[in-house]
Each structure stands twice: as C-alpha cells, then as structure tokens.
C-alpha cells in the first residue's frame, strides 16, 4: 500500500461549491495519472481516507465509486481497492467529431434524435462537469446510421448554463449540421480543443439491441468521452455504443 505521505500535501476546501467527494476523487485521480500509483497498487482503506480528510465514510465511498465508474480503480475482494490496468484510451478517433471523421472517410452518415429533454443532473453528472448540485442539463439520445444501417447509439449531456435554448431542431439529419461539435461552435462560439476518451467492451441491453438491429447481449465498443472547450471547461459528455469495426494505422 502506498504511504500516507502521498496525501499529506493535500487539503480539502470546504468553502468551495465543489463537493468533498469530488475533491477527494480528484486527489486520488491525480496520484494515479501522475504515476505515483501503478496498476495493481492498493490505495488507502476507506477508514484511513476518512480519518485523513475528516469526512464521513459515505463521502469517501462516493469518491471511490466515481473512480471505479471511470475505470481507474477496482474493488478486489482479497486485496481491497486497487488501481486498474489502463483501458484502451483515445487514439482511434481524432479530436474531431464522429461526424467529421465519418464524412471525411466518404461514409454516408445520418442521425436520428430519439429523445431530447432538459433534466436535473444527479451527483455523478454534476461532478463530471464540476458543477453545483441542482444544475440542469440537456440530455439527448441519438441513433447514428451509415448507409441507412444503425451503427451507434449515443447518450449526450450538455450543461444548460453553457448552452441556453439548445433544442433538437438545431440539429439536421445529414451533413455537418448533424455534428454536435459543429453546432456548439456555430451557435455558441464554443470550440472543442481536447477530449478524454475511455473505451471498453459492453454487452447490449434489449432496447439498444433492438435499435441497432442486433441481439440482446451482443458485444459492442463502449466509448465514454468528455469534451473540453478552449478554456478547458468540460462542456459535453457522451457515451456511445458502437458496432462498427475500427482500424488503427500503426507506424
């Protein structure tokens, strides 16, 4: 187990709108991404983290749960909470949108918006965007098709505070006007400058299988993408289930 001194330089700010669990998760995340923890290393126990940061056990558990959800930690019955082996991260797609990538490759891409709502974010969604409790988001679910055949389902979340009056009518079914990145730049002056992708395998549920003309439990590629604007704000979170074949050109 890593030494407690790794955390000694960190203090929680109880006067900021950022939740305490989010601050703790950010501290542990920084330790992992900076290489101070290696895959297979144990982190401190919930009890030690609770005492160190002076918070409740529930707060510590929420921080760890977020990191487990993001694929950075896993709970091991015999060893406690350990750092995972890294998942395949973004390099299959460019920083450009899925739309531009497909259109530039000559694909006949189209999009159907299946659902578009304004929702209140739960604690997990608020923390992803570092927004306060009670923040509102636009949620939209889209089916992407190539030559009329379904290849992807996307669930997208965008903060209302950055995109007032966003509506499904702003999106077109074809061309670059179906691109979320394109719309955000043209309508709101927001340019996506960086992304963070996590990729892994997932089994389709019955509803997604029906939409993708596949079968329940079929394996697909899951991509979780956070997109950041020109001032490094997280402005768009998307999860997509893909049944297309991906290729990598290696040197």
Secondary structure (3-state) at 158 = strand
Report the number of distinct structural domains present in the chain. 2
Total-model pTM: 0.60
Q: Looking at the domain assignment, is residue 58 inside a domain? A: yes
The three-state secondary structure class of 120 is strand
* Same domain as 107, residue 73: no
Number of residues written out for the chain = 251
- Residue 244, pLDDT score: 59
Please check whether residues 229 and 171 belong to one and the same domain.
yes
In a domain, 108, yes or no: yes
3-class secondary-structure state, position 117: strand
Mean pLDDT, the chain, whole residue set: 82
Can you read off the two tokens belonging to residue 203?
A: 């089994």
Residues 121 and 68 in one domain: no
Domain at 43, CATH number? 1.10.10.10
User: Of the candidates 195, 213, 211, which has an alpha carbon nearest to the alpha carbon of residue 91?
Assistant: 195
Q: What is the largest CA-CA distance in the chain?
A: 57
For residue 89, tell me if it sits in a domain: no
Do residues 78 and 189 share a domain?
no
**pLDDT tens by residue, 199-236:** 888 888 999 989 988 888 888 888 899 999 988 899 99
Q: Percentage of the chain with pLDDT > 70?
A: 85
Report the distance separating Cα 118 and Cα 167, nearest Å: 10
In a domain, 228, yes or no: yes
How far does CA 10 lie from the centroid of its chain?
25
With a cut of 80, say whether residue 58 has pLDDT above it: yes
Domain check: are 120 and 236 in the same one? yes
In a domain, 248, yes or no: no
Residue at which a domain ends, from 49, 83, 117: 83
Q: Provide the pLDDT for residue 89.
A: 37
Contact 105, 98 (CB under 8 A): no
Q: What is the CATH number of the domain that holds 121?
A: 3.40.1410.10
Last residue of a domain, one of 31, 56, 83: 83
Same domain, 112 and 53: no
Mean pLDDT of 109-136: 90
What residue numbers bound the domain in which 112 lies? Answer: 98-242
Residue 102 lies in a domain: yes
Residue 93 belongs to a domain: no
Residue 126 CB-density burial (10 A; 0-12 exposed, 13-18 middle, 19+ buried): buried
Taking 60 as the threshold, does the pLDDT of residue 90 lie above it? no
Tokens 């996590």 sit on residue: 198
pLDDT at 104: 67
Q: Do 62 and 157 sit in the same domain of this protein?
A: no
Instruction: From 109, 118, 154, 155, select the one nearest 137 (Cα to Cα).
Output: 118
Asked if residue 41 and residue 13 are part of one domain, the reply reads yes
Q: Is the pLDDT of residue 119 over 90?
A: yes
How much is the pLDDT for 250?
Answer: 47
The confidence band for 177, taking pLDDT boundaries of 50, 70 and 90, is confident
114 in the same domain as 236: yes
Of the candidates 83, 113, 134, which is a domain's last residue? Answer: 83
What pLDDT sits at residue 70? 72
Residue 237 in any domain: the answer is yes
Does residue 149 sit in the same domain as residue 64? no
**pLDDT of 85:** 63
Q: Which of 239, 172, 174 is CA-nearest to residue 208?
A: 239
């Amino acid at each position: 187990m890593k030494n407690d001194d790794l955390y000694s330089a960190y203090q929680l700010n109880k006067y900021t709108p950022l939740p305490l669990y989010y601050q703790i998760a950010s501290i542990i995340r920084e330790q992992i991404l900076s290489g101070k923890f290696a895959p297979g290393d144990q982190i401190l126990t919930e009890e030690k983290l609770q005492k160190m940061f002076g918070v409740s056990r529930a707060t510590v558990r929420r921080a760890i749960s977020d990191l487990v959800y993001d694929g950075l930690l896993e709970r091991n019955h015999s060893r406690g909470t350990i750092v995972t082996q890294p998942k395949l991260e973004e390099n299959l797609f460019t920083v450009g949108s899925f739309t531009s990538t497909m259109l530039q490759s000559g694909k006949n891409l189209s999009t159907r918006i299946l659902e578009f709502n304004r929702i209140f974010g739960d604690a997990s969604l608020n923390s992803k965007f570092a927004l306060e409790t009670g923040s509102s988001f636009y949620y939209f679910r889209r089916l992407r098709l190539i030559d009329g055949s379904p290849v992807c389902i996307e669930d997208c979340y965008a903060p209302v505070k950055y995109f007032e009056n966003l509506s499904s009518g702003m999106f077109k079914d074809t061309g670059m006007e179906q691109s979320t990145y394109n719309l955000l730049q043209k309508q709101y002056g927001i340019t996506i400058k960086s992304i963070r992708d996590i990729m892994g395998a997932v089994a389709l549920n019955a509803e997604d299988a029906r939409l993708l003309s596949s079968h329940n439990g079929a394996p697909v590629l899951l991509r979780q993408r956070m997109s950041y604007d020109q001032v490094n704000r997280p402005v768009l979170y998307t999860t997509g289930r893909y049944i297309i074949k991906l290729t990598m050109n290696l040197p």
